[in-house]
Structure 1
Amino acid sequence: MTRREHRGRITPTMRTKRRLVGRASVVSVVSVVVTAWLAMHRTAALAEETPLAMRCAQFAGAAVSPELIAMPTAGAQIESAGMIGATAPGNQQGGEYCRITGRIKALNPTTPDIRFDLNLPRHWNGRALQIGGGGYDGEVVSGIGVMPFSPDRAPLAQGYATFGDDSGHVGNASLAIFGLVDEAVTNFGYAHLKKTHDAALALIARAYGRPPQRMYFAGGSTGGREGYTVMLRFPEDYDGVIANSPALNFSGVRLIGVKLGQAEYASPGGFVPPPLLERVYQRTLEVCDRLDGAADGIVSDVQACREHEAQIIDSLRCAVHPESHDACLTDAQLATLLVMRNGLSLPYRLAWDVAGYRGYNVFQGTQLTGALGLAHQPWRQPVPAFYANGYLFAQGDGYLRYFIARDADFDSLTFDPQRPGKYRAQMIALSATIGSMNPDLSRYIAHGGKLITLQGLADEVISPNQTIAYHDALIARFGKDEVDRFMRLYMVPGFQHGNGVFIPSVDLLGALDAWVTRGVAPETLTATDLAAATNGRSRPLCRYPGFPRYVGKGNVNLASSFVCALPPGDR
């Protein structure tokens, strides 16, 4: 093999390495990469002595052999590779890095490619970070920016090799059309994570002459589901995971979105206009804001607030013959909100014995008037839009059309999730392909992996009660002490799905790395508020089931004026 051929293709030197196909292990896959690479280059020192700019240029046009990707593919092709200078326009990372873009080819040529980006810092810290997507994905995660709800310094600027992908289709977070393609659905569900992971590891090992010492994953919403997915399906590949606001019960959240749309658009009088949604929110603040000791616009003691729920609902209900409906809710409108509050119960089981979806904290400080809230127009568009018809309904409608019925003209308002008929088998199969509700994380625990999950108690997209239920299922399976050894759950009052009256900024990656590398388990963390109206105030991030309670004195905008309290039943 000539030096030029050598540079153009990354491949094992021994045919026996083909036995790796189908295995999900960092150690096994990386050992092949490193063994093959060092055998051809003699020592890693040679790669380390070569300037990164020269190594980066060698990637242009290179290929990653299918044997190095432990799921069936036609290999990966590098489309571009070039150095981004520290002072280049748009480079806010504070250092020079090699940016690589590529595609992973499917065995079936009609299946869309998995597009990915990989960033290799000049000053590498020996760690790699895979970053998840959002919604229905469809856009390449660049990996060059600051992590959501984290301090200003991006992982790439800290020396992490970062990478992400588009999950195997082109579109945006709102488009579910790819649900018509079987392999694209499998890629979206889980396969893209492994394929991109293995391709990136091969390239990282080639660039630096050694594999990462630590491999992490971080994501939120769909990316949070992806975080739980890698722990379940590829547990030996990762040392630590940050999985925020995770869409674990992907089918469940789509189905409850359909039920909400039906309540608003197929039930007479069920539409709840934004002013009334705001009235519900303000009423919950009037009753519950001070239950944590501070009038700060945040409902922190959600459990105590729930004890006042009947009172709140009665105060919002219209009289028999109201003079005006501008300040009260009819029974039909309350029924819509109760669909969201009650959640979804199914008379059959989805994958992993899932029988529905947990309800939301509708009357405990959740604001439903934002872009990801309920509908803002009293009529349904032919193809529901997020803002006009509500995020949950728009996403659920797309799921029914393309993933379940596989009919673009399917009317989701006529579909009964409790009686799915001929679609039942498809619904169950999809819940296994895309969902991450299996509580058996035993292999990840045995591997020594760590997990941090942050979730808003006022989340209007992913029910915080669904995340709590999964955490409780872990405790039921492994016991509290075992779960505490590998997991931290932080439920954040006032935080919604990326917005809210309190938007936490906290260094979760630093906390995860300290836990993995030095055994420093995170306890109470301090979060700084990113919300525009209250930017800069701080609160303690309490381990679940704790919540911040004001001590009764001191600056209400400082975390030091709060303690982490426990609900009565958990003391």
Structure 2
Amino acid sequence: MFRAFRLLSSDVFLIRALLAVIALAAFSHAHAAAYVTKHCDDLEGKTVPASIIGLPTRGATIVSAWVVKAAAPGNRNGEYCRITGFIKALLDTTPDIRFEVNLPSRWNGRALQMGGGGYNGTIVSGTEPMSFAPDSTPLARGYATFGSDSGHVGNSGRADFAVNDEAIINFGFGHLKKTRDVALALIQMGYGRAPEKTYFAGGSTGGREGFTVIERFPNDYDGVIANAPAINFSGVRLMGVLVGQASYAKPGGFVGLAQQRRVFETVVRECDRLDGAADGIVSNVEACRKLEPQIIASLRCANGQRPSLRDSCLSDAQIDTLETLRDGVSLPYPLAYDVDTYPGYNVFQGVDFSGTLGLGDSPTLLNPPTFAANGYLFAQGDAYVRYFVTRDLAFNSLTLDLDNPGRFRQRLTTLAYTVGAMNPDFSAFIAHGGKLIAMHGLADEVISPNQTIAFYHGLIDRYGQDSVDSFMRLYMVPGFQHGNGVFVPAWDELGALDEWVSKGVAPETLIGSDIAPATNGRTRPICRYPNYPRYLGHGNINVAANFRCVEP
């Protein structure tokens, strides 16, 4: 039977008040959406004063503002107000920061700053899908989005902007704060209120930028997504210099494409099944690491001699180059935050260095070195030495003694503070209630996943496992390289972050759908570190439900 009851007058008052709040909120959202559409064009030519930007500038100017209709050709974002402009640098000789802000008509009350890649140099429009979430854009989901070019034009990999000190500061961290403050001012103008939540998301350089905003501007962001973060920027560039020196300053040190491919194929043959599945993915990296001595032995040419033209074994000099890449950088002096190492790569645990971001295809050193001929790591390291460190375009990076850099030592340390995110102090971000989701491929050939793991362990040493679990999730993905690989995950990181920040639902095991062309559509668990996905031994090998996250 149902029990009858009657409302008290206080209950009626409470319900009426609640309904009024709901109605007011609905009216407010509809009014804000209508206002941003109706008055979008009015923003053109407006300025944002320097006084409300948290770092020194000469203010911002809106160059254009117009409504992009939902039915506009090629638009997948619904109706929105698109705003472009620039933030004036302090010096006339410094490039301005160009930015874009997008205000959707159907706003969800949240803002998302999107990070760049490489040396940036092109405006992050905020209209594209996030990496690893190709089916929708944050703008279409109702996020006000924004990004910038980080304060210079051109992403050639030559880093010529670094001859300007203010431009280096903007690239390192300044553009993040400046763009964020201008964007929030425009959001306030457009909707009449500030965002309820503000997030940051990026990968590689954008991943470094994610850690940077946590460390430098912790109260500005409620949540951060940082994929393959280049947090130890100086470390990875010096790693490239060491690899170049091993490849080109020592006779026979260059590892050719045939040998690069043989290393990968040998590792897969030896380690693929260590997770219970023959699927081309080295998932149990730690078990594979124990097989490293026998893998190297099987790769080495007889008596360590140089290989003939008809085989792909590796000489002693070539093995030394790969072991340099595996061992990383160890300096006899500290850089920023007392960091004196850069952990090496999983060379003998499933990284394929024969791709476009690998070790290159030529034993002949070009001047300047190129990605295709001399390898991504060395070409970037060489540019770093010439433009950032020595500012001498004729300098030969093969001659730089990293153990004794002489007059360049202080410069290396200064740069590591300016462009890098190795500050282990997350206390303000923790106090703010911020959340961080970080992801990295265990087969990354550009940014060492072992640096991300080392930083994570440093946070645990500093704050304890329970505290770190309260604000951070780390996902290490087997088979995933730097945007490519034998497994490339598609998953909803932004949804997971918003659920955690807004509803307190912390992400655990997630599901990734493979978007690698050869294996498109297969699924795997995306496991919290240190776990990896292990096949249960039965069921469809392409279905995540037949795997479990287990400790290595």
TM-score of the alignment, normalized to the shorter chain, above 0.5: yes
1:60-99, aligned counterparts within 5 Å? 60-93=44-77, 95-99=78-82
The correspondence for 2:36, drawn from 45, 52, 55, is 52
Quick check: 2:440–2:476 contact (8 Å CA) kept in 1? yes
1:379 and 2:364 equivalent? yes
Query: What does 1:190-269 align with in structure 2 at a 5 Å threshold?
Result: 190-269=173-252
8 A Cα contact 1:44 1:210, kept in partner: no
Cα pair 2:248 2:254 within 8 Å, conserved? yes
Alignment of 1:302 onto 2:285: yes
SS of residue matched to 1:289: helix
Q: Using the TM superposition, give the Cα deviation of residue 50 of structure 1 relative to its aligned residue in structure 2, in angstroms.
A: 4.9
Moved more, 204-213 or 322-331: 322-331
What is the CA–CA distance in structure 2 between the aligned matches of 1:493 and 1:132, rounded to whole Å? Answer: 24
**CA-CA distance at 1:324 after TM superposition:** 3.2
Q: 1:468 aligns with which of 453, 458, 463?
A: 453
1:102-117 to 2 correspondence within 5 Å? 102-117=85-100
Q: In the TM superposition, what is the alpha-carbon distance from 1:383 to its structure 2 partner?
A: 1.4
Q: Would the aligned equivalents of 2:327 and 2:344 in 1 still touch at CA under 8 Å?
A: yes
- The residue type paired with residue 231 of structure 1 is I
Deviation (angstroms), 1:408:
1.2
Aligned residues: 524
1:126 to 2:109 alignment: yes
Task: For 1:482, give the aligned amino acid.
Answer: S
Query: 1:54 Cα shift?
Result: 2.5
Q: TM-score, normalized by length of structure 1?
A: 0.90
**RMSD across aligned positions (CA):** 1.4
Q: Secondary structure at the match of 2:393?
A: coil
Answer yes or no: is the 8 Å Cα contact 2:243–2:324 preserved in 1.
Answer: yes
Q: Tell me by how many angstroms 1:322 deviates.
A: 7.3
The answer to whether 1:446 aligns with 2:431 is yes
Offset at residue 466 of structure 1 (A): 0.5
Which amino acid in structure 1 is aligned with residue 197 of structure 2? R
Q: Is the 2:241–2:378 contact (alpha carbons within 8 Å) kept by the matching residues of 1?
A: yes
How many angstroms does 1:323 deviate by? 7.4
State the AA in 1 paired with 2:392: D
User: Relative to structure 1, is the Cα distance of residues 323 and 367 closer, same or farther in structure 2, using a 3 angstrom cutoff?
Assistant: closer
Provide the rounded CA distance (Å) in 2 between the counterparts of 1:56 and 1:267. 61
Q: Does 1:435 align with 2:420?
A: yes
| Structure 1 equivalent of residue 328 of structure 2 | 343
1:562 partner letter: F
C-alpha deviation, 1:174, in angstroms: 1.2
Are the aligned partners of 2:111 and 2:144 in contact in 1 as well (CA < 8 Å)?
yes
1:563 to 545, 548, 551: 548
Given residue 83 of structure 1, which amino acid in structure 2 is its aligned partner?
A: V
Cα distance in 2 between the residues matched to 1:281 and 1:250:
26
Query: Are the equivalent residues in 2 in contact too, given 1:151–1:507 (CA < 8 A)?
Result: no
Q: Which runs of 5+ in 1 are unaligned?
A: 1-42
Amino acid at match of 2:308: S
State the distance in 1 between where 2:29 and 2:437 align.
35
2 CA distance for matches of 1:460 and 1:367? 7
Deviation at 1:52, TM superposition (A): 2.7
Q: Which moved more, 1:48-57 or 1:168-177?
A: 48-57
Distance 2:48 2:158 in 1: 30
**Residue pairs, 1:168-567, within 5 angstroms:** 168-172=151-155, 174-320=157-303, 324=308, 326-567=311-552
The alpha-carbon deviation at position 279 of structure 1 amounts to: 0.2
Query: What is the one-letter code of the residue matched to 1:434?
Result: V
Alpha-carbon displacement from aligned partner over 1:229-276 (angstroms, at most 9, x marks no partner): 000000000000000000010000000101111111111101111111
Say if 2:307 and 2:315, in contact at 8 Å, map to a contact too.
no
One-letter amino acid of the counterpart of residue 125, structure 2: S
Equivalent residue letter for 1:54: K
Instruction: Work out whether residues 306 and 315 of structure 2, in 8 Å CA contact, stay in contact via their aligned partners in 1.
Output: no
- Residue 51 of structure 1 deviates from its aligned partner by 3.7
Cα 1:292–1:54 change in 2 (3 A) is same
Compute the displacement of 1:381 (Å). 1.5
**Mean alpha-carbon deviation: is it higher for 43-52 or for 406-415?**
43-52
The TM-score normalised by the length of structure 2 is 0.93
**Given that residues 33 and 191 in structure 2 are in contact (C-alpha distance below 8 angstroms), is that contact kept between their aligned partners in structure 1?**
no
How many Å separate the matches in 2 of 1:74 and 1:359? 42
Q: Distance in 2 between matches of 1:473 and 1:173?
A: 34
- For 2:510 and 2:251, the matched residues in 1 are separated by 47
Deviations 1:410-440 (A, max 9, x none): 1111111111110000000000011111111
How far off is 1:53 after superposition?
2.9
Q: Distance between the aligned counterparts of 1:399 and 1:167, measured in 2?
A: 17
Matching residue's letter, 1:84: V
- Of residues 131, 142, 149 in structure 1, which corresponds to 2:132? 149
Check the 8 A contact 1:47/1:209 in 2, yes or no. no
Deviations 1:269-319 (A, max 9, x none): 011111110000000011100000000000000000000000000000000
Is the Cα–Cα contact under 8 Å of residues 45 and 209 in structure 1 kept in the other structure? no
CA offsets, 1:426-476, max 9 Å, x none?
000000011111111000000000000010000001101100000000000
- Give the percent of matched residue pairs that are identical in Structure 1 and Structure 2: 62
- 1:510-564, CA deviations, whole angstroms, 9 ceiling, x for partnerless residues? 0000000000000000000000000000000000000000000010000001000
Report SS of the residue matched to 1:158.
coil
Q: For the residues of structure 2 that align with 1:92 and 1:413, how far apart are their CA atoms?
A: 48
In 2, Cα distance between the equivalents of 1:246 and 1:111? 27
The answer to whether the 8 Å contact 2:284/2:532 transfers is: yes
> What's the counterpart of residue 8 of structure 2?
none
CA contact (8 A) 1:47 1:207 kept: no
Q: Cα deviations across residues 191-231 of structure 1 (Å, max 9, x unaligned)?
A: 11000000000000000000000000000001000000000
Q: Aligned pair in 2 of structure 1 residues 323, 469: CA closer, same or farther (>3 Å)? A: closer
How many angstroms apart in 2 are the aligned matches of 1:45 and 1:85? 19
Distance in 2 separating the partners of 1:81 and 1:464: 41
Q: CA deviation at 1:175?
A: 2.8
Matches of 2:34 and 2:551 in 1, distance apart? 56
> What secondary structure, in the 3-state scheme, does the structure 2 residue paired with 1:79 have?
strand
1:119-144, Cα deviation, whole Å (9 max, x unpaired): 11010000000000011111110110
- After superposition, the Cα gap between the structure-2 partners of 1:44 and 1:294, relative to the gap in structure 1 and judged at 3 Å, is closer
Q: Measure how far apart 1:46 and its partner are.
A: 11
- 1:273 touches 1:376 (CA, 8 Å); kept in 2? yes
> In the aligned structure 2, how far is the partner of 1:323 from the partner of 1:403?
38
